[in-house]
Amino acid sequence: MLAGISVLLFFLGWFKYFNFVNDSLREIAKFMGLNYSVPYQEIVLPLAISFYTFQAVSYLVDIYYGKQKAERHYGYFSIYFAFFPQLVAGPIERAKKLLPQFKVEQSLNYENLTCGMKRIAWGFFKKTLIADRLAPIVSSVFDSPNPTGSQIVLATILFSIQLFADFSACSDIAIGCARMLGIKLTENFKQPHFAVSIADFWSRWHITLSTWLRDYIFVPLCKGKKKRSEIYFAIVITFLVSGIWHGAAWTFVLWGLIHGFYRVFGDYTKNSREKMVSFIQLDRSPVLHRWVKIAITFLLVCFSRVFFRSDSITQAFENAKLFLTISSWRPSGIIKAFEIFSLLDLVIFILFFIIVQLFQYIERKNGSTWEWLSQRSIIARFSFYIFIIVSVLIFGVSGNGFVYGGF
């Protein structure tokens, strides 16, 4: 197991992180006045190496601990690692879930086809009408040499919306493609921006990565540990791995450490915060209390994404300073910052953003919007389906790859 994991991590490290480490060592040597002559390497990153490496590691560990039997058929073994719908950006699946499905003979199934097509269409809806419409607007601020504080605040919030729409759309399309073939993939998102805490956020965002990190990083680190400080250390290491996995840049390292700090601070201050809530009697209004927690969690996540979106450490700290400046949050400044939109783009974005929110509202109330729709009249159902398709064809924009395709 250790030999297999070492080989997998060696290739991941070479292809994805060699130049990052090399450049960091060169900067350290330059700062210390030392000579460092290892040149930059022109390395072509293999497609989806981060995702299939994690699947391969989970496969080896599960076999070692008896949770999964080794697959002797090379075809099934190969397709587990290279199943095309989820290859580039997940969901990160376990062999225990996928392998048995591949061994069942599938036939053309009306329900699978319709469910799959709905998910694919909804994925394109979010991708082309939300994510790709926001992408150039967000870039216009983060690529600007002198953005205002209010522009950074607005662009960061919009980037959070863009990132969710983009990545959840990618998962929707993957899940839909697989479902048309009779394969059920794991749901990867559960409305993360309605999370009431950072812990809750990570149980809703990129769920297959979160559970992977929990099972194969956090749990082994915590084995036999009872002290609170040791568990907190394991939390920070787990989020550090998450940051490094997302990209070979110090901005991602800091992003991971920020979320590690959030989790540790949240757990450490839990009792104090509950006492404060009781003191100000906020808990007497459960609905208000919930929305306050949702707002605070969302803003904390947005702040971390300043580092996620910035191109360098220097830019990240400058943008973070602007984000935290009180004057950046003045209503007049935020309203003026909306000038980054053209009037047409703003109207289109608001319209389709409201539709996505209505979809999510129905999902929160009924468990599944698609099941809720199936109980409506045939006219209502097909009107909605046609609306999705026509909206994508008329108002959708494309040209941007999926954000997580780069990780």
Contact of 83 with 98, CB cutoff 8 Å? yes
Least confident of 80-89, 91-100, 252-261: 80-89
Portion of the chain with pLDDT greater than 70, in percent: 100
Residue 162 domain flag? yes
Residue 407 domain flag? no
Task: Answer yes or no: 193 catalytic.
Answer: no
| Residues 87 and 120 occupy one common structural domain | no
Residue 289 CA to residue 64 CA, distance in Å, equals 46
Portion of the chain with pLDDT greater than 90, in percent: 75
Best mean pLDDT range from 25-34, 62-71, 367-376: 62-71
* Integer CA distances (angstroms), 173 to 48, 55, 121, 125, 345, in order: 16, 20, 8, 10, 25
For residues 360-386, average pLDDT? 91
Residue 29 CA to residue 35 CA, distance in Å, equals 6
| Residues 43 and 171 occupy one common structural domain | no
Contact of 360 with 191, CB cutoff 8 Å? yes
| Residues 41 and 156 occupy one common structural domain | no
Q: Cα-atom radius of gyration of the chain, to the nearest Å? A: 23
Residue 405 domain flag? no
Q: Which residue is listed with tokens 């981060």?
A: 50
Q: Is 181 helix (H, G, I), strand (E, B) or coil?
A: coil
H helices then E strands: how many in the chain? 20, 0
Domain count, the chain: 2
DSSP string, 214-282: IIIIIHHHHTT--SHHHHHHHHHHHHHHHHHHH-SSHHHHHHHHHHHHHHHHHHHTHHHHHHHHHHTTG
Q: Among the three residues 33, 68, 102, which one is the final residue of a domain in this structure?
A: 102
Q: Which residue is listed with tokens 């996540």?
A: 301
| Residues 325 and 364 occupy one common structural domain | yes
* Integer CA distances (angstroms), 55 to 49, 78, 266, 287, 320, in order: 10, 12, 30, 40, 34
For residues 125-133, average pLDDT? 94
Q: Among the three residues 65, 80, 102, which one is the final residue of a domain in this structure?
A: 102
| Residues 71 and 140 occupy one common structural domain | no
Residue 404 domain flag? no
Note the pLDDT tens digit of each residue in 44-59: 888 888 888 999 999 9
189 Rama sector, left if φ>0, alpha if ψ -120 to 50, beta otherwise: beta
| Residues 73 and 130 occupy one common structural domain | no
Contact of 183 with 116, CB cutoff 8 Å? no
8 residue type, one letter: L
| Residues 98 and 182 occupy one common structural domain | no
247 residue type, one letter: G
Residue 35 has a pLDDT of 85
| Residues 34 and 130 occupy one common structural domain | no
Residue 21 domain flag? yes
| Closest listed residue to residue 101, CA positions, set 126, 76, 78 | 76
> 10 Å Cβ neighbour count for 387?
12
Residue 407 has a pLDDT of 67
| Residues 207 and 337 occupy one common structural domain | yes
| Residues 250 and 318 occupy one common structural domain | yes
Contact of 184 with 92, CB cutoff 8 Å? no
Q: Is 37 helix (H, G, I), strand (E, B) or coil?
A: coil
* Burial group, residue 289, by CB count within 10 angstroms (0-12, 13-18, 19+): middle
Q: Among the three residues 51, 84, 102, which one is the final residue of a domain in this structure?
A: 102
Residue 367 has a pLDDT of 86
Contact of 128 with 299, CB cutoff 8 Å? no
The pLDDT confidence band at residue 42, using thresholds 50, 70 and 90, is: confident
| Residues 168 and 66 occupy one common structural domain | no
| Residues 236 and 288 occupy one common structural domain | yes
Structure tokens at 162: 């863009």
Note the pLDDT tens digit of each residue in 98-124: 999 999 998 999 999 999 999 999 999
For the chain, report the end-to-end CA distance as a whole number of angstroms: 25
Active-site residue among 193, 206, 246, 289? 246
Residue 123 domain flag? yes
> 10 Å Cβ neighbour count for 164?
20
Residue 217's domain comprises 110-399
* Mean pLDDT rounded to a whole number for the chain: 92
Note the pLDDT tens digit of each residue in 264-314: 999 999 999 989 988 888 888 999 999 999 999 999 999 999 999 998 999
